Amino acid sequence: MSLILIDAVKSVVWHNGVLRIDVVAAGPNGEERPSGTLLIPGNQAGNVLKALVDATQELEKRLREQQQPVGNA
Q: Residue 55, SS3?
A: helix
pLDDT confidence tier of residue 53, bands split at 50, 70 and 90: very high
Q: Is 24 inside a domain boundary?
A: yes
Q: How far apart are the first and last CA of the chain?
A: 48
Global pTM reads 0.77
Per-chain mean pLDDT for the chain: 93
Q: Is 3 inside a domain boundary?
A: no
Give the residue numbers spanning the domain of 24: 8-67
Per-residue pLDDT of 1-17, as tens digits, reads: 889 999 999 999 999 99
- CATH code where residue 28 lies: 3.10.450
Q: Is 72 inside a domain boundary?
A: no
Q: Is 59 inside a domain boundary?
A: yes
Q: What is the pLDDT of residue 46?
A: 96
Per-residue pLDDT of 26-44, as tens digits, reads: 988 989 999 999 999 999 9
- Integer Cα distance of 17 and 67 in angstroms: 42
The structural domain count of the chain equals 1
Query: 10 Å Cβ neighbour count for 23?
Result: 19
